[in-house]
Amino acid sequence: MMTDGLSLEGKVALVTGAARGIGREIANRLAQHGARVVLTDVEPELGKEAAAAMEGATYRDLDVTSQDQWEKAIQALRDKHGRLDVLVNNAGISPAANIEQTDLDLWRRVQTINVESVFLGCRTALPLMRQSGDGGSIVNLSSIQGLRPAAPLAAYSASKAAVRALTKSVALHAAGDQIRCNSVHPGGVQTRMLNDFAALTGDADAALAQMNAANPLGRVGQPIDIANGVVYLASDMSIWVTGLELVIDGGSTL
């Protein structure tokens, strides 16, 4: 257990999209630092398996696009813990499609999952965070594409730019209650999303090797690289940090 400013002892955290990949590693690292973590997702088997491997963690089904499910999830936290200290809005999708390949249904699906979920999470969680009186930390997962859009990721780039702007608005709104809101902007991280994107080239291994070689630090990211940044933003080590864009990309945006 951590005893310095990175300790999350006594804090309650909720992480969306936590059954696999970056979300799972974020939940794991928060738990390792002492938080009681609620993992949420729409993959119950994977989610329950993940939670079972973490001390003090539980799993709950949560469709992040449903206002009703958000309200029930936050009420369950209020009933069980009486507080929420850390919210990590991680759930998202990244279909590869340029502007002409993106039809209206795909566009709306990406915005609903990637942006509306963050809106709903922040809006629903803030009253419980405020109620505790101890402040809190909201961490929204954006992307380097939210800063440097990519042509083959038209809807995704737009959605992650929206998450960046919404984060800053929430940060200003909640600052008076000592509730901080920051965005994390990962570069390419080796998850199912990145592997699927690499596979579109026809030679996934060659594509991944090219991505590794192109990164200034010589490799794509791993979920733990992102999770460590989230732990910092969730902890009291970042008590005077809000509205930040934390880019974790091995220098690729340079």
59 DSSP β-pair partners:
39
Please say if 232 is a catalytic residue: no
DSSP 72-130: HHHHHHHHHTS---EEEE-------B-TTT--HHHHHHHHIIIIIHHHHHHHHHHHHHH
Rounded CA gap, 227 and 246, in Å?
A: 12
From 5, 6, 22, 23, select the one nearest 14 (Cα to Cα): 23
Full strand arrangement of the beta sheet holding 179-186: 58-61, 36-41, 12-15, 86-89, 136-141, 179-186, 245-248
Catalytic residue among 59, 70, 156, 197: 156
Rounded CA gap, 24 and 21, in Å?
A: 5
Q: Do 152 and 97 contact (CB within 8 A), yes or no?
A: yes
Residues composing the chain: 254
The catalytic site residues sit at 156
